Structure 1
Amino acid sequence: MHILVLGGAGMVGRKFIERLARDGGLGGKPVTRVTAQDVVPAAPPPAAPFDFETVVSDLSMEGEAEKLIATRPEVIIHLAAVVSGEAEADFDKGYRINLDGTRYLFEAIRRTEGYAPRLVFTSSVAVFGAPFHEKIEDEFFTTPLTSYGTQK
């Protein structure tokens, strides 16, 4: 199985890839290849039982999503983001990375005939705003209080 990790050089991306290297598989299937995409190079995990490739690119650039999915990875882990403090400080950057980059990815997948990867999109409790109930049900309104929450 080929896994594409967007934001693969970040903290969560690195830990996820290291875990894949330790486990050698995901969901009972062996991992044969991992592509780690980020705006900086991702370090290969030690003793990985799979082929590892790092791609330095910006997902929010038009056409980049198509390049990343051209090999049709079976699983895409979308961790690429500008986090809340930076998204608030640089409003345009937050929207470009968090919203436009994600939209480009979804559109590239949608336009690729016969391609339906498993996509894991990490998000944030910031989409809900406050106050929170003890349990957030499906009907809980999304009322973000920040631009980051809106972007996610």
Structure 2
Amino acid sequence: MTRKQKRLTLIFSALGLLGLAVGMVLFALRDNVVFFYGPTEMTEKNVGPGQRLRIGGLVKPGTLVHLDGKSITFEVTDGKNDVPVSYTGLLPDLFKEGQGVVAEGALNQAHVFAADSILAKHDERYMPREVADALKKQGVWQEQGAKVSAGATTNDR
């Protein structure tokens, strides 16, 4: 083998290994690329207990219950399905019923989503882009000049 052939063999081998590594990473992350799942998507996906993920939607009115201390329970809804959520910790100041929320955690054995962090809107018209898109897909989105995450109104998109 000449020097040129050895170099080309080395380059193609390195590119092949790099491609294999990228493929393995993408395969491992295939379900984690989504920022969050809506309640309907979570139900359709048949998420098992202990699997960490994010869910997003609206806090269903009438479901927010303050338990002892800093513990609460509520339901996240997308209009079709609801997911019960339990959380212990400090809530964002603007967290309330009927508003957009993203919760991060895992489903427990009782099929209640045990959240370890809660993200809420930052003003009365804010809705994370992903939550707005999921609600539009479900047919429950109401325009009313709501703002999405990039600060642009939905009419600007």
Task: Give the structure with the larger helix fraction.
Answer: 1
- TM-score, normalising length: structure 2: 0.27
- TM-score, normalising length: structure 1: 0.28
Task: Give the structure with the larger strand fraction.
Answer: 2
